[in-house]
Structure 1
Amino acid sequence: MRVLIADDEPIARQVLRELLEECPGVEVAGEAASGAETLRQVERLDPDVVLLDIHMPQSDGLAVARRLRPLPLPLVIYVTAYEQHALAAFEAGAVDYLLKPVRLERLRAALEKARRQLEGLRAARASAQAAPQRIAARSGGEIHLIDTRDIIAFRAAEGGVEILATTGRFHAPHSLKEIEERFPPPQFRRIHRAFLINTAHLRSIAPLSSRRYLLRLTGGLEAVVSKRMAGVIREATEW
């Protein structure tokens, strides 16, 4: 597990580095001293996990986490002296929230949570690769074989389903339930009665109200879901 340490205090970064040396299977990928540098280091180093402080210059830790959330990785573990930000941190997708001074056993427990999430993400990817790779569909009187990687969503339609893909729109004579059984989670997820999305094409999740969230997918496709479903999707896709 490759970990990026993000804290504006050099002493705090050194303490975390020394603690991480006591955690088997963990490698320090690098360090960052500001929010902006954290984002640059994530892009450059591609870590699995970020140990992220809340109060940093050039974008605080909460803002950084919101920028990172659309990405499957890295996972975020907050390390801060301020307990009042815990709720906002978990709403931003944190794996855990550690208070300074950090105890070794508490850090190990947080990293173990992250490890389990990483294993789940890898299993989801393996399951997606093992799923059926193509489906036959019609468009303009012709039959096409559509690669599942190109499918953005299935939508219930008269006489079957409409396939919304990066290569166009097609029709298949299957019920949405049949499609759901053929293409199970985690790659495909039924978000409501008439819509099944390919989570690989999910681009963002944004709140519309206290109960509704907006999903944006490839090609500008949008769908509104409940807060509960948004949480299910985030958990399943490790957002």
Structure 2
Amino acid sequence: MIRYLIIDDEPLARDELRHLISEEGEFEFVGEAANAIAGLSLINKLKPDLIFLDIQMPKITGLELASMLDDSQLPRIVFVTAYDEYAIKAFEEKAFDYILKPIEAPRLQQTLNRLKQDHAPKPIQFADKPNLTILPCYYHHTIKLIQLSEVEYVMSDHSGIHVITAAGQSHTHLTLKTLEEKSALLRCHRQYLIAEQAIKEIQLHDNASADIITPSGHKVPVSRRYLKAIKHHFGIQTG
């Protein structure tokens, strides 16, 4: 079971979301809160697997609440808001997904399906292979074995995990966490891993984020959280 909380200052929004999820047998509702302070208390007490979190709330926003959570015990966070301008910031702040209000049932179902897949036991084990040099991928009905040296970056979105090379794009069942732990790919964003050899340029922005330009011209975002580590990896001064 996936145990979830709803944190939203609108009672009707909480009721509607709970109703939409109620027919999903794999999800267990464990509580709700009308503000971030009460929500943080429930998170620490109940330790849910998943939080549906409104962004616009009084005093402390959902984004601010997310930034307070311990990365080592972080539940999945699905931001729910009426304002799409917060999308990029939401993904920088630990978002699993981002849903706009009013919630449409088909869009919510996509998120629930991803959550179920993400929560399920992973069939691929690597206990006897601590370092990945080949990534098993698929493209339509073809299984491809891609050399890690060919990879420019890997990204996650609502449709899965995508492996991008200069030649094109494939999909893999491996998670970003597994790839980060078992390969030389570097974390540059919550949704992106970058290959060291694919960093041709780092374009710095005024908001302390950046973009990486790869040899084939792809632009890969670097969030503020990971920019310092990327600079440190190459011995670049961060002052």
TM range (shorter): 0.5 to 0.7
Larger radius of gyration: 1
Gaps (5+ residues) in structure 1? 133-183, 193-207, 216-222, 230-239
- Corresponding residue for 1:225? 229
What pairs with 1:145-224 in structure 2 (closer than 5 Å)? 187=181, 190=184, 209-211=208-210
- Corresponding residue for 1:27? 28
The amino acid of 1:91's aligned partner reads E
Please state if 1:97 is matched with 2:98.
Answer: yes
Q: CA deviation at 1:189?
A: 5.9
Contact 2:49 2:76 in 1 (8 A): yes
Q: CA deviation at 1:19?
A: 0.8
Q: CA deviation at 1:116?
A: 2.8
- Corresponding residue for 1:42? 43
Match of 2:13, SS?
Answer: helix
Contact 1:3 1:51 in 2 (8 A): yes
- Corresponding residue for 1:165? none
Q: Distance in 2 between matches of 1:226 and 1:17?
A: 40
Number of equivalences: 152
Q: CA deviation at 1:31?
A: 0.4
What pairs with 1:68-83 in structure 2 (closer than 5 Å)? 68=69, 70-83=71-84
The amino acid of 1:210's aligned partner reads S
Q: CA deviation at 1:5?
A: 0.5
User: Percent identity at matched positions?
Assistant: 36
Q: Distance in 1 between matches of 2:21 and 2:81?
A: 16
Higher helix proportion: 1
Contact 1:69 1:92 in 2 (8 A): no
Match of 2:116, SS?
Answer: helix
Q: Name the Cα RMSD after superposition.
A: 3.3
The amino acid of 1:5's aligned partner reads I
- Corresponding residue for 1:108? 109
Contact 1:77 1:97 in 2 (8 A): yes
Please state if 1:118 is matched with 2:119.
Answer: yes
Gaps (5+ residues) in structure 2? 131-177, 187-206, 211-221, 234-239
Q: CA deviation at 1:85?
A: 0.8
Give per-residue Cα distances to partners, 1:150-177, cap 9 Å, x unaligned: xxxxxxxxxxxxxxxxxxxxxxxxxxxx
